[in-house]
Structure 1
Amino acid sequence: MREDEKSLNPDFSRRGFIGTALAATGFAVAAGPVNAQAISTDSTGLAAGPQMIGTLPAYVARPASGSNLPTILVVQEIFGVHEHIRDVCRRLAKLGYLAIAPELYFRQGDPSTVSDIPTLLKTIVAQVPDAQVLADLDAAAAWATSHGGDAKRLGITGFCWGGRISWLYAAHNPKLKAAVAWYGRLVGDASENNPRHPIDIAGQLKAPVLGLYGGGDQGIPLDSIERMRSAAKAAKVKTEIVVYTDAPHAFHADYRPSYRALPAQAGWQRLQDWFKTYL
């Protein structure tokens, strides 16, 4: 554990951390080989490291000093809270935010131990109820409020699996001020664990949502994006969906072959502008 991690949570080792991918030092195995282009953000000027929020493991990054910080919940990809998600938290902390990435699979299993995506989806991801996820995000937001975060400036961003969750959370928490959803699935069949999808709650959004999508995403058809645009017009808050022509799914994931620098950088700038406007 790095010194900055100890300073964030000095009694961490005594608690017997039960986290999953948070305990690892690198990327999720199921995500495949890590590309050399992977961005690495240092923790200079930050307090960053694992943190227990009750029984919920999380990774937290924030400026080393300051209070009443705007808070951003960072929602993982299907691979859990691995190094890319931790790095996103540090990037946000460098911008002055208190960033929290709760480990949302920790009750169902450890994604860092799974070597292939089909097994991961079946044995862990499909077992995670949306209601549990939303409650855990509420817990993370409450923890932030009592640990230097500003309750009146709460945002959320998520990627892939977390992009879908970001849409749902924008309809769930009336205290949320802004959301940025990266290529989150918008439509789907209802199930016990996933009773509703973004298209179903589009008219109930309580915070402005920015959706960032790839025109070449084989898993999210453009017609579903257009349906979401139309449905979101019923919401009383601003919703904007940007589609980057030819960009594939996971175009922001700089550690994977799907990474596309130009749309990733453009999307990151849009994220910054969105949070500056609404938080």
Structure 2
Amino acid sequence: MLKEEIDSLAAGREFSRRDFVQTTVGSGFAAALLPVAAQTVTTDGAGLEAGSVSIAVGDLQMPAYCAQPAGKTKLPVVVVASEIFGVHEHIADVCRRLARQGYLAIAPELFVRQGNAGAYTDIPRLIAEVVGKASDTQVNGDLDATVAWAAAHGGDVTKLGITGFCWGGRTTWSYVAHNPAVKAGVAWYGPVARPYFAGDKTVIDLAASIQAPVLGLYGAADTGIPVETLTQLEAALKAAGNTRCEIVVYPDTPHAFHADYRPSYRKEAAEDGWARCLAWFRKNGVA
């Protein structure tokens, strides 16, 4: 059970299933997230090619949400790894924000084999039945397929980045360790001292394999990610010879501070983190 997710959501909150509209990947919000907060950001899709796509992974057709500037090719690519709730409207909006910066941004539904993460209202069940069954081996393979799809659909994967939130933040660290072609990553409040899938290594354990620059964005008041674990990761990265990673910790800031549709949103930290994210990609060859 992931304490930071449970603490940041109102347990047992009532909602109307009429509010849960998720007909395609990237539309609507997950049931566990309703009602969404009034400050939810919505990015206009004008001038973009944006919507659901299908990625072949062996015999599986994996859904994903993709956004990119209309009519453009040879675009730098940013893969977006979702929270535990899958690819809902907020993750799609992040893709549109990146597309407005000139990227082909794509968010694959990495829980598709395990079930519909967006339909769960009980967070412990979601973690046990879906999130905790998605191993790094499975996820990294699906991300490899996502990168291949992007290369065939207008993306320049010599300029490849990845970003993600919570579960996706940890996935960002893991995928950078897995794929040496990634130029840079930006991990938003992803746990570093424990895996989600029982057989996986921690991010700290993976430090020696993380050679690309990763920017970690964390909150000091995140009850599920103690600051001392970030210090341990920094030490492990340094011991492995990686001096290009950076971890930023925002004081008095909770988990999910970028999630503008949730009460955990902190506007100042979110906007600063987003500016740092874009600058990090530009600085490290993802532009």
TM more than 0.5: yes
Classify 1:168/1:255 alpha carbon distance in 2 versus 1 (closer, same or farther; 3 Å).
Answer: same
Tell me, what secondary structure is at the counterpart of 1:176? coil
Q: Is the 8 A contact 2:25 2:87 kept in 1?
A: no
Q: Is the 8 A contact 2:26 2:87 kept in 1?
A: no
Tell me, what secondary structure is at the counterpart of 1:259? coil
The residue type equivalent to 2:252 in the other structure is D
Tell me, what secondary structure is at the counterpart of 2:235? helix
Write the deviation string for residues 232-268 of structure 1: whole angstroms up to 9, x where unpaired: 1124451000000011000000000000000000000
Q: Is the 8 A contact 1:21 1:110 kept in 2?
A: no
Question: Any residues of structure 2 matched to 1:1-279 within 5 Å, and which?
Answer: 22-23=24-25, 25-54=27-56, 55-188=61-194, 192=198, 194-233=199-238, 234-236=240-242, 238-278=244-284, 279=286
Q: Is the 8 A contact 1:170 1:179 kept in 2?
A: yes
Tell me how far 1:221 sits from its aligned partner.
Answer: 0.3
**Which 4+ runs in 1 deviate beyond 2 A?**
20-25, 189-192
Alpha-carbon distance between aligned partners in 2 of 1:114 and 1:187, rounded to the nearest angstrom: 26
Write the deviation string for residues 80-120 of structure 1: whole angstroms up to 9, x where unpaired: 00000000000000000000000000011001221121111
Q: Is the 8 A contact 1:160 1:183 kept in 2?
A: yes
Q: Which residue of 2 aligns with 1:13?
A: none
Classify 1:75/1:191 alpha carbon distance in 2 versus 1 (closer, same or farther; 3 Å).
Answer: closer
Tell me, what secondary structure is at the counterpart of 1:213? strand
Structure 1: stretches of 5+ with no match in the other structure: 1-19
Structure 2: stretches of 5+ with no match in the other structure: 1-21
Tell me how far 1:191 sits from its aligned partner.
Answer: 5.6
Work out the percentage of aligned pairs sharing the same amino acid.
53
Q: Is the 8 A contact 1:50 1:59 kept in 2?
A: yes
The residue type equivalent to 1:34 in the other structure is V
Classify 1:187/1:99 alpha carbon distance in 2 versus 1 (closer, same or farther; 3 Å).
Answer: same
The normalised TM-score by structure 1 is 0.90
Tell me how far 1:167 sits from its aligned partner.
Answer: 0.3
Alpha-carbon distance between aligned partners in 1 of 2:35 and 2:101, rounded to the nearest angstrom: 29
Tell me, what secondary structure is at the counterpart of 1:174? coil
Tell me, what secondary structure is at the counterpart of 1:42? coil
Tell me, what secondary structure is at the counterpart of 1:243? strand
Q: Is the 8 A contact 2:80 2:107 kept in 1?
A: yes
How much is the aligned-residue C-alpha RMSD, in angstroms? 1.5
The residue type equivalent to 2:111 in the other structure is Y
The residue type equivalent to 2:133 in the other structure is Q
Q: Is the 8 A contact 1:70 1:149 kept in 2?
A: yes
